[in-house]
Copies of this chain bind each other. A is one copy, B any other.
Amino acid sequence: MDKIYTIKDIAELAGVSKGTVDRVLHKRGKVSEDALKKVNEVLDRIDYQPNLMARSLKKTQIYSICVLIPDSANDPYWQPCIDGINDAKKEFKSFNVKVEIFLFDPTSTASFVETNQNVLNSSPDAVLLVPLFHKEALDAIETYNSKGIISSIFNNQLKSSAIKSFVGQDLFQSGRIAARLLDLLIKKGTIAIVHIDEDYENAIHMQEKEKGFRDYFENLETGKFEIKTFKVKHPQFKTTLKEYLESNPAIEGLFVTTSKAYQVAKIIAKNPEKKIALVGYDLLENNLEYLNNKTIDFLIHQNPKRQAYLGTTSLIEHFIFEKEISPEKLLPIDIVNTENAKDYFL
């Protein structure tokens, strides 16, 4: 049977004291070759699993983790992240970890930089952040790294050797899924990819989604679909899109690459004679409203709550269970329609 061994057991089996076993296990040195061999022989033979209860009971050090996310006052997309992080906090509240949330204004680079400075001042053991601003995020991560602070990111991909882990979705694949759905919705015709660019930088997000979207149709039998791209900034958005649709009456499907599908829905809902297929992102209140009245056909769920949860727990578990942090964790891309929308709020 798989008996549970303790350090004391190992010490007895190897004929040494538990202090020596401890030194071997933690590679603290000051062990003779002879003793090292004896202990290692035992260790090879049995499957020693340190008792994590005893360990964390003894350890008085409290690990500190800071999470940097955009303030949901600016964009409701981020609200679920708070819940995910709080779930993680709750789950591990008995352990020696402290998780602190720092909010920044997603429309302000300065706010991002400043918040990172605040985080740095609290000198945490690890930071989980949403790298919304490419350059500034890289700088911050570099600084953390130089101070021995672990950095993980989620939601937005960012390549850097100083990053321990990324949690998010495969955006290229996400675009392909949207394509497949629109393929089903309108069997042929013209589709426009709509990029509603906010002030802040999610260009990479949108680009990857567009690539995936186009990739799907390129590998399809030709002639059935025509794909266009339409970029628009927020202020002039309403009139511009209206004009665009009027001047392109062939358009039968729209793919909105951000969480702002409801804004598009608002416009096309005014013209109910001509149903335009609409696929967008994220389960915001506004989007769900138009999903339920079937102006929006499908929403793709990016699961920000779970992203934040997993990003947080992987750091926590790294500290208290010495678990390895997997460099990349890609979440399933959930397809949501009228019928299963409410399931994703659990």
Residues on A facing B (Cβ under 8 Å): 49-54, 56-57, 93-95, 170, 173, 176-177, 179-181, 184-185, 216, 297, 321, 330-340, 343-344, 346
Contacts and interface: CB of A to CB of B under 8 A. Distances in A.
Given A53-B53, A180-B337, A334-B340, 9 more contacts: A49-B93, A176-B339, A177-B337, A177-B339, A177-B340, A330-B343, A330-B346, A333-B343, A334-B334
A216 B184 CA distance: 20
B297 A180 contact: no
Contacts of A333: 339-340, 343
Nearest to A340: B333
B332 A173 contact: no
Contacts of A216: 339
A180 B294 CA distance: 11
A164 to B, nearest CB: 19
Contacts of A338: 180
A177 B337 CA distance: 8
Contacts of A331: 343, 346
A297 B332 CA distance: 18
A326 to B, nearest CB: 11
Contacts of A57: 51, 53-54, 57
Given A184-B185, A185-B184, A330-B343, A94 B335 contact: no
Contacts of A170: 343
A346 B327 CA distance: 14
Contacts of A176: 339
Nearest to A330: B343
Nearest to A344: B332
A216 B262 CA distance: 25
A185 B297 CA distance: 12
Contacts of A93: 49
Contacts of A336: 335
A294 to B, nearest CB: 10
Contacts of A50: 94
Contacts of A337: 177, 180-181, 335
A331 to B, nearest CB: 7
A344 to B, nearest CB: 5
A336 B331 CA distance: 14
A253 to B, nearest CB: 13
30 contacts: A49-B93, A51-B57, A51-B94, A53-B53, A53-B57, A53-B95, A54-B57, A57-B57, A94-B321, A170-B343, A177-B339, A180-B337, A180-B339, A184-B185, A184-B297, A330-B343, A330-B346, A332-B340, A332-B343, A332-B344, A332-B346, A333-B339, A333-B340, A333-B343, A334-B334, A334-B335, A334-B340, A335-B335, A335-B336, A335-B337
A4 B199 CA distance: 43
B53 A339 contact: no
